[in-house]
Structure 1
Amino acid sequence: MCTSLSYEALDGTKFLARTMDFAFELNGKPTFLPRGYNWLSSLDNKTYNSSYAILGTGAKYGHNYMVADGFNEHGLACAELYFDHEAVYEAAPEEGKINLVSEEFILWVLGHNKSIAELRKNLEDVRIIDSDAGVMGANQPLHWIVTDRTGATYVIEPRGQGLELEEDKVGVMTNTPDYQWHKTNLSNYLGVQTTNFQGMKFGNQEVEKLGQNGTFRLPGGFTAVDRFVRESFVHEVVQKPNTASEAVNTIMHMFDTVRIPKGVNVKDNNTISYTQYEAVLDITNCVMYYTPYSNRTVYKIELTPEMINSGIEPKEFSVDFEQQVKSLN
């Protein structure tokens, strides 16, 4: 359960942003991975060496720091989203290919590609293997949203015939069903509008509108389908921000329509799926904004030239998980 979007301010600043909605406590924090970061494939213990510095939301599991979303020093950004019942991976590793489990894919994307164009070419060499060998244990069904400084946005979905890179012209992604289904389903909501529907006559009865009613057709649940429709509508009609700073605020307001409070979504095993954090990634200026569930403070972390050129060790940035309040008297 997650919602993601790409976005652009009027000044040209590009963003990738997401809510992380999950039941298992991921303990993700803003995390820096330097150039040359070595990580081990869970399938064959092969060592991969990242060519580019990465900033994203991560945590250390076993030998590796894993990231669920982030960007690299060249502005390529990626986020993973749950894709239950739809993800079809390869049955076995293929000789001569880059064989990974699903949760390692972002490390490869951000560590070895500068742009969507380069990713498209290199993606042919990658195989995601159906395996429980990953750090999360059971095989994780995932799909991914990627964007770069051109603003082009794509969805990567595993369909059992390699990895498919499909343009996301809506600029929004959630969970199962697949992107094509979500895009087609938007046809059912063409009547949604920002302005009022006016009164009309039923027989001899004049019926007047009761307050603002243009958005009454929008679905109100927290399913992936409902969230995709709501976020797509808001993404399209929200007042465009002028600057990067204004865009961060705008994106967080956009996420107000899909953020899941604790207790609203309870899984079959009685665990609670909720929005553990929001991450807003300014890929033009290499800045990450992070807000945990328990503290609405917005934390800002910049991928500085010093970090890019001189950083040699991974770093987790500390955040306060208790709500901070600014007193005015």
Structure 2
Amino acid sequence: MTTMCTSLSFSALDGSKFLARTMDFAFELHGAPTFLPEEYQWTSSFDEEVYSTKYAIMGTGAKFGKNYMIADGFNEYGLSAAELYFANAAEYDQEPTDGAVNVVAEEFLLWALGNNKSIEDLNNNLKDVRIIESAKGVMGVNQPLHFIFSDATGATYVLEPQGNGLVLQEDKVGVMTNTPDYNWHKTNLANYLGAQPTNFAGKTFGEEEVIPLGQNGTFRLPGGYTAVDRFVRTAFIRESVEKPETAQQAVNMILHVLDSVTIPRGVNIKDNGESSYTQYQTVLDLTNKAMYFVPYGNRTIYSVAMTDDLIKNQSEPKQFPVAADQQFANLNDK
């Protein structure tokens, strides 16, 4: 079951920090903005051990089995994360470790966001957790995943389980997609140094002067939906766009960046005939503790903030409903 997701970190000129992603998947996740309170108890699918989060989490979630699962989100201290598919590359521990938190891959973010305030915390505490290769996951198979993290400082790291334990690596590009691994994608950017937002000048061939017929600086950019194409395109656009002044402007700009890699239903068909498409876009404001959510069928931007009242008084998981069908602003009523 393949998926094609794109994630990026971003900053506004006012200092606001963001992590955003597209969720591209064929299996219908039915994800919605979800709040998980402090001390939320969840059960490891691997060994039925019950764990409890220290910190509240806001993210895109759905209930599978006993747990609300989070595919992306942030906690009350601004640590954020997104899980993305890492097909044919993820390598997990074959056996559990006594005394460690042993989980299947799709439960890792419950531990990571529920127990760490920052990238520094996460790096120090990774020794306490193991992702186990197991068929006990909620989909009957352990999902091959890698993870991108960003915290309130804007520090961005990736974690790619490749048989050498759980190790953080700084993501200086600020982008992650899917297989191949981050280092491959980073090296591949050298092939696109000729892409630029400004036009190339005309040139003379023999005695013939050839002038540009239109905007030509981006002709080198790949246009497909492969992980390689999306990484290059997102890295270029992220670097080139006008830098927004405010957090509100940044949300708008980030969604425009995500639109460049958003996959309409029917464009990418799997071997079994299912369509893998962008089920939603999410923008996480780590500074102002707000989540922005755009479902596939409705381009309305939904927002929900992790308020002090929510943290203090909401003791049970809470999902925030969004309309599945497109909403319109009727100008005749103005």
Fold shared by both chains (TM-score > 0.5): yes
Distance of 2:139 and 2:105 partners within structure 1:
10
2:158 to 143, 146, 155: 155
| Paired position in structure 1 for 2:261 | 258
- Deviation of residue 145 (structure 1)? 0.2
Kept in 2, the 8 Å contact 1:126–1:162? The answer is no
**What are the Cα deviations for residues 194-241 of structure 1, in whole angstroms up to 9, with x where unaligned?**
111111112222211111100000000000000000000001010000
1:199 to 199, 202, 208: 202
| Paired position in structure 2 for 1:25 | 28
| Paired position in structure 2 for 1:308 | 311
- Deviation of residue 127 (structure 1)? 1.0
**3-state SS of paired residue (1:120):** helix
1:183 to 161, 182, 186: 186
Kept in 2, the 8 Å contact 1:6–1:171? The answer is yes
| 2:12 pairs with 1:6 | no
**3-state SS of paired residue (1:85):** coil
Distance of 2:17 and 2:207 partners within structure 1:
53
Whichever residue aligns with residue 103 of structure 1, its letter is E
Q: How is 1:204-215 mapped onto 2 (pairs within 5 angstroms)?
A: 204-215=207-218
Identity of aligned residues (%): 64
Distance of 2:190 and 2:312 partners within structure 1:
48
Root-mean-square deviation (CA, aligned residues, Å) is 0.6
- Deviation of residue 94 (structure 1)? 1.2
Distance of 2:187 and 2:303 partners within structure 1:
37
**What are the Cα deviations for residues 3-23 of structure 1, in whole angstroms up to 9, with x where unaligned?**
000010000000000000000
| 2:82 pairs with 1:79 | yes
Whichever residue aligns with residue 14 of structure 1, its letter is K
| Paired position in structure 2 for 1:221 | 224
**3-state SS of paired residue (2:191):** helix
Whichever residue aligns with residue 305 of structure 1, its letter is D
1:135 to 124, 133, 138: 138
**3-state SS of paired residue (2:189):** helix
**What are the Cα deviations for residues 91-149 of structure 1, in whole angstroms up to 9, with x where unaligned?**
11111221110000000001010110010010122111111101121110000000101
1:64 to 64, 67, 73: 67
Q: How many residues align?
A: 329
Q: List 4+ stretches of structure 1 deviating above 2 A.
A: none
Whichever residue aligns with residue 43 of structure 1, its letter is F
**3-state SS of paired residue (1:201):** strand
| Paired position in structure 2 for 1:280 | 283
Kept in 2, the 8 Å contact 1:69–1:80? The answer is yes
Q: Note the residue ranges of structure 2 that are not aligned, 5 or more in a row.
A: none
Whichever residue aligns with residue 138 of structure 2, its letter is V
Distance of 2:275 and 2:325 partners within structure 1:
19
Whichever residue aligns with residue 219 of structure 2, its letter is F
Q: TM-score, normalised by structure 1?
A: 0.99
| 2:199 pairs with 1:230 | no
Kept in 2, the 8 Å contact 1:22–1:273? The answer is yes
**What are the Cα deviations for residues 138-171 of structure 1, in whole angstroms up to 9, with x where unaligned?**
1100000001011100000001121120000000
Distance of 1:160 and 1:133 partners within structure 2:
20
**What are the Cα deviations for residues 49-104 of structure 1, in whole angstroms up to 9, with x where unaligned?**
01000000000011100000000000000000000010011111111221110000
Kept in 2, the 8 Å contact 1:54–1:72? The answer is yes
Distance of 2:139 and 2:72 partners within structure 1:
16
| 2:330 pairs with 1:327 | yes
